[in-house]
Amino acid sequence: MTDKAVLEWRKSGKYLPRFMRDFHDQKDTFKGLHDTVAVDKHEYAKDVSWVVGQCYVVDLFLWHMARHGYVLRKADKALPFDDIEKTNADAKAMANKAMATALGLTPVSK
């Protein structure tokens, strides 16, 4: 039986990294992952859409792990890691550009 305080903490989303606490930010992360990692080329994961991945990881796996006191956190190792928010923004910009091109739109000159 999950304690009420644990349940409230989980419902607050505070068990997630800050960049994943908003549903739309989660979408950017999973869309970016799907586009930049070429999930369709991984035999064991090729049928997993970004939507299914997001729901499984956030709504099931991380929720379950938080119930038991585990959280996803950034490594404390001093290495030159990529910035997840920049990676997400770059992937979103690429998707927006592809969508604009598909619609026949051209960039506005400044």
Provide long-range contacts, Cβ within 8 A and 24+ apart, for 72-78: 72/15, 72/16, 72/17, 72/20, 73/17, 74/17
11-44 tens-digit pLDDT: 999 999 998 999 988 998 998 888 888 888 889 9
Residue 101, token pair as written in the block: 């091109």
Q: Flag whether pLDDT at 69 surpasses 90.
A: yes
Does residue 16 sit in helix, strand or coil? coil
Residue 100, token pair as written in the block: 């604009």
